[in-house]
Amino acid sequence: MSVKTLLAGDVGPVRAWADGPTDIDKRTAVAALLGLHGLALVVIGLQEFGVPIPDQLRAPVVVLALTFVPGGLAVLFVYADGSLGARHVTYAFGISLLSVMAIGFVVNVTLPLVGHDAPMAVVPLAAAMTVFDVTLAALVLRMRRDGTVTIPASLFLSHDGDDGAFEWMASVPSLVVSRISPVPLALLLLPLLSIVGVELLNRTGNAFLLVVVLVAVALVPLLIVTKRVPTRWHSFGMWMMALAVLYHKAIWKFSGYSGQPYAIRTWRARQWTPGVVRSDLLSAELLPNGVLYPIYARLSGVHILTQYNVINPFFVSFIPLALFLTFRRYTDSYRAFLAASVFVFAHPFFRQYPTAGRAATPVLFLALFGLAISDRDSPRVVASALGLAFVLGIVVSHYGTSYYVVAAFGVTLVLLAALRWFDALAGVDIRGVIDDSVTPRLVATRSRTRITLSLVVFYSVSSLTWYMYMNGGRKFDLLPKHARESYIQLLGGSTFSGRTAARIQKNYGTLSIQLSKYVYLVIGLLIAIGLLIVLYRRLSNEDIEFDDHYFALAAAMMGIFGMTIMVRNWGGGRPLMITYVTTVIFAVVGIGAIESHILNRDREALQVFGILLLVLFVLNSGVAATLLFGGFAPSNVPNQNGLAETDSPRAQTMIYKETDIAAHVWMIDHHEGIEVYGDTFANRQTDWYRPQLITGASRAWTDIEPIAGKPLGLSELAAPGVEPGYVFLVGHNWALDGVWTNQYGPPATTLDELELPQRSKVYTTGESTVYYHNGSAESQR
């Protein structure tokens, strides 16, 4: 089809292409992927040779190449023929991340052995990625070149009963035909307007557009369940919704990324060390922090903080997509969308997850693992291999999540054994001999087990071995300590003494958070009801959609999360989101039971669930606080202006973030080991804003350590003989005229009572001030 034909307005050939599937020879597909890799090499090379290329042009090309070329080639190698689907693209994404981490591990371990002290410089990384991609392409062409891949016309469009293929990208070919559907355009506008809205808020303080976008996002699940959005756009809608939610927090000017500084250190030093022989500042046990994010930032040419705030949310957006594709295997597209929306609307998704890090990255691989073990279309050996690969991603991404999943896998094996024992008592032979009351479909769901003893042993040994040796085994040492403390607390603690119970019982003094907690409790109750219903159907030999292994894993996850109500080691948002990966689909099962047995209606209960999700997101996102309640919410982005009007020192630290960081950076560059006195919130800023502090300081980055200041108080400073040091007063101290030694209590003293003479002032940003106190009641400087 020629350009002249298109310019003449003849879209018939385009429509003909869109009406039927497109078969592509594998050699053409390999050439296309290598072409993307080659384009990335060109822009990287031009930049290295001094030809300036804007980040907006260079970064997208490099990020797409890193994110899809290695995994895309692996998918072409594994799947001999057939139609490419949404799950294949998602698999390609996950395999690519694993490949980049593996390559980063190898080059960082091997190149220093031959005298190269900067293995994560651009040239060795680009060379390693090229060797890997070309080798993989050669294997595909040698062993799998005979065959075609089919790209359905509904590129990434999801239909009930099929896998769909390239749903998101459907907007590109479909928008060139004569009749443009308003649905994809409206969905595409969600993340775009979210970015525009938060930028407008950052520059002018006007939150109107952002509030409108957030309300529109909250309405999407309700529009889905009321069939206002065709099923072919559900996957696209889930991805757009996730991006809109993530970016509204990630690029907010008051958004703080804390986390560990390993990625910044290795990005600056162009080197990572495993710390097996000795542990140093470049040693990190988490490969995403040690190599994945620094490699992306180095090759794409962006600052490491830009990597966290802009590129990492793109990674995180695949979590709800993987959940949707998984849940759709067990139910219809509407219920799958509602279930995945619970994950998106839960506040940790847009408070803890946008920058990925140790909170979101292991959950991403857990979601991919769930997709693999629920895959009924791929050959069993392929799905099992993918499951093994993705659990390794969990292992290297976070020690706490890794141990959590080890425990969940162990409980899963016990539950599976109990189900098999029940089958034996009921006379059900899943090997093929069954009685007449059991349908072949039910036997298939029982026998389709992907969580086996060998998998659990492999994963457990991998987890324990990795953390035993990486970074001096520091995180391995925590395992027996936490296990012992949890055991003691379970035996001797009260029922509601754990960290999660504390979060539930705590009065946050704001209506948005209080109501949000009630919604979470309702969702938890629905999950429990859904699990019990599926168990009843399973034991009653009824036809059910859920495979035994998936149900057992979800039940195990829910049970372990229930323990956080009683133990204090871990609880709240992180384990909640880990549990949601496998369990939120059962909340929809629970509401379905109410729908069929109580209301005796078709879809009213699902619509009620959609309204419940709308309420949850309006509360969690801060929209309700902005428009109705005032005060705090789990997230306060749209209520930015309201923060300045509160007397909360935590809120004020957000308002004065920029100038406070500048003062901390000055202190890092000048304190030279002298004691620093700051109140509890100033001290906490050294954790909240640690990456910004490390990247902003001009001193040698290897010398930077968090400022361990004593809490600022009148009695300490006025008493004779107090060690001399700097007195650190930041924005919230001046705005609220006080200093705090307890984050939950009133101020310990006012600034006037400190009696700091003006001549003792050594630094100021206009909003943050540093004084020098010589240790006596009256300063001599």
Domain of residue 102 covers: 23-148+260-307
What gap in Å lies between CA 641 and CA 214, rounded to an integer?
A: 17
pLDDT for residue 532 is more than 50: yes
Residue with tokens 């705005």: 735
Neighbours of 507 (CB within 10 A): 7
Where residue 153 falls among pLDDT bands split at 50, 70, 90? very low
Please give the residue that has the higher pLDDT: either 348 or 178. Answer: 348
pLDDT for residue 581 is more than 70: yes
What gap in Å lies between CA 691 and CA 264, rounded to an integer?
A: 7
Mean pLDDT across the chain: 82
Does residue 400 sit within a domain? no
**How remote is the C-alpha of 498 from its chain's centroid?**
25
Q: What integer pLDDT is reported at residue 338 of this predicted model?
A: 95
pLDDT for residue 628 is more than 60: yes
Percent of the chain past pLDDT 90, that is, above it, reads 41
Please give the residue that has the higher pLDDT: either 166 or 229. Answer: 229
What tens digit of pLDDT does each residue of 305-357 get?
999 999 999 999 999 999 999 999 899 899 999 999 999 999 999 988 998 88
Specify whether the CB–CB gap between 539 and 458 falls below 8 A.
no
pLDDT for residue 18 is more than 50: no
Q: What integer pLDDT is reported at residue 531 of this predicted model?
A: 94
Q: How much is the average pLDDT of 68-89? A: 84
pLDDT for residue 720 is more than 50: no
Please give the residue that has the higher pLDDT: either 2 or 368. Answer: 368
Please give the residue that has the higher pLDDT: either 489 or 622. Answer: 622
Where residue 442 falls among pLDDT bands split at 50, 70, 90? low
Q: What integer pLDDT is reported at residue 715 of this predicted model?
A: 40
How many domains is the chain built from?
2
Instruction: Say which range, 151-160, 182-191, 352-361, 490-499, has the weakest mean pLDDT.
Output: 151-160
Q: Which of 643, 613, 638, 610 is nearest to 624 (CA)?
A: 638
Does residue 39 sit within a domain? yes
Please give the residue that has the higher pLDDT: either 261 or 494. Answer: 261
What tens digit of pLDDT does each residue of 32-43 get?
999 999 999 999
Please give the residue that has the higher pLDDT: either 5 or 676. Answer: 676
Q: How much is the average pLDDT of 723-744? A: 85
Percent of the chain past pLDDT 70, that is, above it, reads 80
Angle, vertex CA 50, rays to CA 45 and CA 56, nearest 5: 70
Please give the residue that has the higher pLDDT: either 439 or 413. Answer: 413
* Beta carbons within 8 Å of 418's beta carbon, 6+ residues apart: none
Specify whether the CB–CB gap between 237 and 187 falls below 8 A.
yes
Q: What integer pLDDT is reported at residue 612 of this predicted model?
A: 94
What tens digit of pLDDT does each residue of 759-777 get?
888 889 888 998 887 765 4
Q: What integer pLDDT is reported at residue 216 of this predicted model?
A: 96
Q: What integer pLDDT is reported at residue 20 of this predicted model?
A: 47
Q: How much is the average pLDDT of 275-300? A: 89
Does residue 513 sit within a domain? no
Q: What integer pLDDT is reported at residue 105 of this predicted model?
A: 95
Angle, vertex CA 262, rays to CA 260 and CA 266, nearest 5: 160
Q: What integer pLDDT is reported at residue 467 of this predicted model?
A: 92
Does residue 84 sit within a domain? yes
- Strand (E) or helix (H) holding 677: strand 675-678
Which range, 500-509, 511-520, 578-587, 620-629, has the best average confidence (pLDDT)? Answer: 578-587
pLDDT for residue 752 is more than 80: yes
Specify whether the CB–CB gap between 86 and 326 falls below 8 A.
no
What gap in Å lies between CA 313 and CA 306, rounded to an integer?
A: 11
Beta bridge partners of 764: 769
pLDDT for residue 366 is more than 50: yes
Where residue 750 falls among pLDDT bands split at 50, 70, 90? confident
Specify whether the CB–CB gap between 599 and 541 falls below 8 A.
no
Buried b (16+ CB within 10 A) or exposed e, 658-697: ebbbbbbbbbbeebeeebbbbbbbbbbbbebbbbbbbbbb
What gap in Å lies between CA 136 and CA 75, rounded to an integer?
A: 10
- If DSSP states are collapsed to H, E and C, what string results for 671-718? CCCCEEEECHHHHHHHHHCHHHHHHHCCCCHHHCCCCCCECCCHHHHH
**How remote is the C-alpha of 411 from its chain's centroid?**
25
Beta bridge partners of 157: 165
Neighbours of 525 (CB within 10 A): 12
What does the radius of gyration of the chain's CA atoms come to, in whole angstroms?
A: 28
User: Which token pair is 383?
Assistant: 């799905």
Specify the pairing of strand 148-151 against strand 82-83. Answer: parallel
Please give the residue that has the higher pLDDT: either 708 or 24. Answer: 24
Which range, 161-175, 342-356, 501-515, 704-718, has the best average confidence (pLDDT)? Answer: 342-356
pLDDT for residue 708 is more than 50: no
Where residue 441 falls among pLDDT bands split at 50, 70, 90? low
Q: What integer pLDDT is reported at residue 496 of this predicted model?
A: 65
Q: What integer pLDDT is reported at residue 180 of this predicted model?
A: 57
Q: What integer pLDDT is reported at residue 580 of this predicted model?
A: 95
Q: What integer pLDDT is reported at residue 17 of this predicted model?
A: 42
Q: What integer pLDDT is reported at residue 110 of this predicted model?
A: 94
Specify whether the CB–CB gap between 120 and 112 falls below 8 A.
no
What gap in Å lies between CA 69 and CA 49, rounded to an integer?
A: 24
Mark which of 307, 322, 338 sits at the end of a domain.
307
Where residue 401 falls among pLDDT bands split at 50, 70, 90? very high
What gap in Å lies between CA 671 and CA 330, rounded to an integer?
A: 59
What tens digit of pLDDT does each residue of 125-145 get?
999 999 999 999 999 888 866
Does residue 105 sit within a domain? yes
Does residue 229 sit within a domain? no
Specify whether the CB–CB gap between 164 and 337 falls below 8 A.
no
Where residue 596 falls among pLDDT bands split at 50, 70, 90? low
pLDDT for residue 497 is more than 90: no
**How remote is the C-alpha of 1 from its chain's centroid?**
42
**In 3-state terms, what secondary structure has residue 252?**
coil
Q: Which of 409, 387, 314, 344 is nearest to 87 (CA)?
A: 387
Does residue 514 sit within a domain? no
**How remote is the C-alpha of 395 from its chain's centroid?**
15
Does residue 296 sit within a domain? yes
CA distances from 646 to 207, 632, 642, 652, 712 (A): 18, 9, 7, 8, 22
The amino acid occupying position 209 is L
pLDDT for residue 12 is more than 60: no
Q: What integer pLDDT is reported at residue 601 of this predicted model?
A: 59
Q: What integer pLDDT is reported at residue 552 of this predicted model?
A: 94
Angle, vertex CA 663, rays to CA 659 and CA 665, nearest 5: 115
pLDDT for residue 712 is more than 80: no
